[in-house]
Amino acid sequence: MKNIPVITISRQYGSRGHEIGQRIAEKLSIPYYDKSLIALAAKKSGFSEAAFEYADEKAGSSLLYSMVTSGMGVAARIAGTPEMPINDKLFLIQSDIIRNAANEGPCVIVGRCANYVLREYDNVFKIFIHADKEARIRHAIEEDGISENKAADYVTKQDKQRANYYNFYSSMRWDDVNEYHLTLDSTQFSIEEATDIILHAIDVWRAKE
C-alpha cells in the first residue's frame, strides 16, 4: 500500500479493536499505539504508570476545554495549573504524544480520542469498530474474567465510560458515524477478514484523493 495514512480506531469494549489494530499495523509494518501511550505519558510526566492506568480514558474537568487547542506546550500547560486533575493531565500528555506519533509518519492509534486530536490532519483514516453485545459479553467473561451475572453490566459500563471520555474531551459524540470514514461490525468477520476489509477501504479512499 502506497501513501499509508495515520489510522485511528475507536471501538466498543470487546469488539476486538485492539487485535484488529495490531494486525493492521503488522501487515503495513507501521507502529501501533494503545496502552503503550500510558507508559510514554508516565515516563514523560514523572507520574507513576499505575496512576495513569487508573485515570485512563476517564473524563476529567472542564478546564481542558480552554487548553486542549491552545498553542502552549504540554509542560507549560500542566505547570501553570497545579490543581489540574490527573485525568486531564493524562489527556494533554497523550494528545501531544498522538500528534508527535502522527508527525513521525504512518501508525495505528487505538482509542484516546485520536481521531479528534488529529482532526486538523488531512492524512488520517478514522475507523469505528463495534460488535454484537452478546459477543462482547462473552469477551468479558472469557478474556477479562468477569462473572456471568455481572458481564452484561460490565460491558455497558465500559462503553459508557469510553463514550463519556470521548464526548467530554471532544465535545462530540463517540458513536456519531459521521465522524468516521468506516464503521465495521467485527462480529461478522475474523480478525484477518476485518483487517483486509479495512486495508481495501483505505486503498479506495486514497485513490479518490
pLDDT single digits (tens) 50-60: 766 666 655 55
Pair 180, 10: CB distance under 8 Å: yes
How confident is the model at residue 201, as a pLDDT?
Answer: 97
- The pTM score is 0.82
How confident is the model at residue 5, as a pLDDT?
Answer: 95
| Dist CA 9 CA 126 (whole Å) | 6
How confident is the model at residue 112, as a pLDDT?
Answer: 87
3-state secondary structure of 81: coil
- For residue 88 the three cell numbers come to 486531564
Beta bridge partners of 48: none
How confident is the model at residue 208, as a pLDDT?
Answer: 79
Residue 68 pLDDT > 70, yes or no?
A: no
Average pLDDT over residues 180-190: 96
pLDDT single digits (tens) 20-31: 999 999 999 999
pLDDT single digits (tens) 94-132: 899 899 999 999 999 999 899 999 999 989 999 999 999
pLDDT single digits (tens) 148-165: 999 999 999 999 988 888
Average pLDDT over residues 11-19: 95
C-alpha dist (Å) from residue 59 to 15, 32, 67: 22, 24, 15
CATH topology classification for 6-207:
Rossmann fold (3.40.50)
